[in-house]
């Protein structure tokens, strides 16, 4: 039998996986800087143009588990190429969009495709990379995601100034075509089309479960984004409907012959603890991005330019620490690396609470540089542990669950942490509060964030109390 080329020898395979992750994260960040221009061009309000970003995030969150399962059933390489094709077509819609409605529709298509681009590279890694090198590749994927987040605003702003807002979507289209070519050339076809055919014939997609899960996630996502969906429903009403849809989903999964998400799998300690930790850490990561700028501007008195420079240090530190975090995971193992990451991030969050209020911007920068590598260590180790132990028939679904927990954490952090910060300031709000009051609110918010990582550590030790295989027949 001819030996399959190792992907670490085939650099195109790594480029394909990294490029997919970079494209998905770039698709989020590159449009944020375009919102003021779009509001002017389409004579739209801020609440309307923000759906250019929200449509992408919501559709990505809703679809990520389903596309991961599709990768298990129909082949990861095939579904990844289909996702890149959908991303390209949806981007063309954005390029030629005559009005804001068409642009948002194109962004929905991009978000659905981005779910594929974020879920399947981790799934493909299991089949392409030796187990002892998975941490390095997971670190690389985290690095590319951070680079896409950091690069998007500056790249998008430059293109808009030179060529107009449509040019950012032309760039995304060209990038998607380039990544598609690299996937075709660099990632080998999965062994034997007959295997995929047998899998497709014997195990079908759970479309009923898929529908109810997507509906539950859509309603939750809408509530997390403020309930702005053109319906006369309050946030609590959306949450009740989401809970009902989730209950129906559980009932459907219990009766399904081939469920979208085997419920017994979620009862396993290792996977459940990993998903809980991922959600908590993601929520706290988002809180630094949302609450931080308010403190820098109103608490420390920085200009918008200086605030942007300070905030850019976070993604820069993430990009620099991603690959080393993966290498440390390979060397010392996922468990020790993960716990080290949680401890380091906890120390960074305590530093956020204590240092900026005492020494100002240098304290904020020190806390940021300490916290970000901690997050990267956690992400590399957690993703590696889950994908290394994932059965081949479920790796796409497990990758999708990890992505889902991450984005639910992002939405939770983006809604709850600013709400806590604002409630601590009282009726005066951030613009009328004194710098001392803003600093006190910031300190309490990040002390609570540090305490939340304590729950993540509890979940870690609970998951390791009785390690068992995740395979479900």
Query: What's the pLDDT tens digit per position in 170-197?
Result: 999 999 999 999 999 888 876 654 444 4
Helix-, strand-, coil-residue percentages of the chain, each rounded to 5: 85, 0, 15
- pLDDT at position 471 is 43
The answer to whether residues 108 and 55 touch, using CB atoms and an 8 Å cutoff, is yes
pTM for the structure as a whole? 0.75
pLDDT band per the 50, 70, 90 thresholds, residue 467:
very low
108 shares a domain with 43: yes
Residue 30 inside a domain? The answer is yes
Rg (CA), the chain: 22
162 shares a domain with 61: yes
174 shares a domain with 282: no
- The answer to whether residue 61 scores a pLDDT higher than 90 is no
- pLDDT at position 173 is 94
123 shares a domain with 235: no
Q: Tokens in use for 428?
A: 């005066």
End residue of a domain, out of 163, 180, 204: 204
More confident residue, 309 or 179: 179
221 shares a domain with 314: no
376 shares a domain with 275: yes
347 shares a domain with 329: yes
Q: Tokens in use for 57?
A: 């995030």
Residue 276 inside a domain? The answer is yes
180 shares a domain with 303: no
| The CA-based dihedral angle spanning residues 270, 272, 277, 280, taken in that order and rounded to the nearest 10 degrees | 180
Q: How far is CA 281 from CA 264, 267, 288, 378, 451, in A?
A: 24, 21, 11, 9, 11
248 shares a domain with 128: no
Kindly report, residue by residue over 247-281, the tens digit of the pLDDT: 888 888 788 777 777 776 766 777 788 888 988 98
Residue 473 inside a domain? The answer is no
DSSP assignment, residue 7? T
387 shares a domain with 290: yes
- The answer to whether residue 370 scores a pLDDT higher than 70 is yes
Residue 437 inside a domain? The answer is yes
Among candidate residues 418, 412, 94, 446, the one with its CA nearest the CA of residue 280: 412
Lowest mean pLDDT among 5-14, 58-67, 278-287, 405-414: 5-14
pLDDT band per the 50, 70, 90 thresholds, residue 17:
confident
What are the b/e assignments for 446-459, b being 16+ CB within 10 Å? bebbbebbeebbeb
Identify the CATH number of the domain in which residue 123 sits.
Answer: 1.20.1250.20
Among candidate residues 38, 55, 163, 145, the one with its CA nearest the CA of residue 106: 55
70 shares a domain with 10: yes
For the chain, give the percent of residues with pLDDT over 70: 84
220 shares a domain with 188: no
Element (H, E) at 467: none
DSSP string for residues in 48-74: HHTHHHHHHHHHHHHHHHHHHHHHHHH
- pLDDT at position 106 is 94
pLDDT band per the 50, 70, 90 thresholds, residue 233:
low
End residue of a domain, out of 186, 204, 222: 204
Q: Which domain holds residue 356?
A: 262-468
- pLDDT at position 8 is 44
Residue 392 inside a domain? The answer is yes
Q: What total of structural domains would you count in the chain? A: 3
């Amino acid at each position: 039998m001819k030996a399959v080329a190792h992907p670490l020898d085939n650099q195109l395979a790594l480029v394909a996986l990294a490029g997919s992750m970079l494209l998905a994260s770039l698709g989020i960040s590159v449009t944020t800087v375009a919102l003021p221009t779009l509001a002017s061009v389409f004579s739209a309000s801020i609440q309307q143009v923000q759906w250019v970003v929200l449509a992408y995030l919501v559709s990505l969150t809703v679809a990520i588990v389903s596309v991961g399962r599709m990768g298990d059933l129909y082949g990861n390489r095939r579904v990844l190429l289909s996702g890149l094709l959908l991303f390209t077509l949806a981007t063309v819609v954005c390029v030629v969009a005559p009005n804001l409605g068409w642009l948002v529709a194109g962004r929905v298509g991009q978000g659905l495709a981005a779910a594929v681009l974020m879920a399947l590279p981790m799934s493909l890694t299991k089949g392409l990379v030796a187990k002892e090198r998975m941490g390095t590749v997971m670190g690389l994927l985290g690095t590319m995601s951070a680079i896409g987040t950091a690069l998007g605003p500056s790249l998008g702003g430059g293109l808009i100034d030179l060529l107009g807002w449509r040019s950012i979507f032309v760039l995304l289209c060209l990038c998607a075509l380039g990544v598609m070519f690299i996937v075709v050339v660099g990632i080998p076809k999965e062994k034997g089309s007959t295997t995929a055919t047998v899998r497709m014939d014997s195990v079908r997609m759970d479309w009923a479960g898929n529908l109810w899960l997507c509906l539950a996630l859509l309603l939750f996502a809408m509530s997390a984004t403020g309930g702005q969906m053109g319906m006369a429903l309050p946030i609590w009403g959306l949450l009740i409907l989401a809970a009902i849809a989730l209950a129906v989903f559980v009932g459907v999964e219990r009766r399904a012959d081939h469920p979208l998400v085997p419920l017994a799998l979620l009862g396993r300690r290792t996977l459940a603890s990993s998903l809980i930790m991922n959600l908590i850490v993601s929520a706290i990561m988002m809180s630094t991005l949302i609450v931080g700028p308010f403190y820098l501007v109103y608490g420390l008195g920085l200009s918008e330019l200086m605030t942007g420079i300070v905030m850019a240090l976070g993604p820069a530190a993430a990009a620099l620490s991603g690959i080393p975090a993966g290498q440390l995971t390979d060397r010392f193992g996922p468990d020790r690396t993960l716990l080290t990451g949680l401890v380091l991030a906890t120390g960074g969050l305590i530093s956020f609470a204590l240092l900026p209020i005492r020494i100002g911007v240098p304290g904020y920068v020190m806390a940021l540089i300490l916290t970000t590598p901690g997050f990267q260590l956690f992400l590399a180790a957690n993703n590696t542990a889950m994908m290394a132990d994932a059965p081949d028939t479920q790796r796409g679904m497990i990758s999708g669950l990890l992505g889902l927990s991450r984005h639910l954490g992002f939405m939770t952090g983006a809604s709850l942490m600013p709400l806590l910060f604002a409630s601590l300031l009282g009726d005066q709000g951030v613009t009328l509060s004194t710098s001392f009051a803003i600093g006190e609110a910031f300190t309490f918010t990040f002390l609570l964030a540090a305490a939340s990582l304590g729950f993540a550590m509890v979940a870690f030790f609970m998951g390791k109390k009785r390690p068992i295989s995740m395979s479900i027949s």
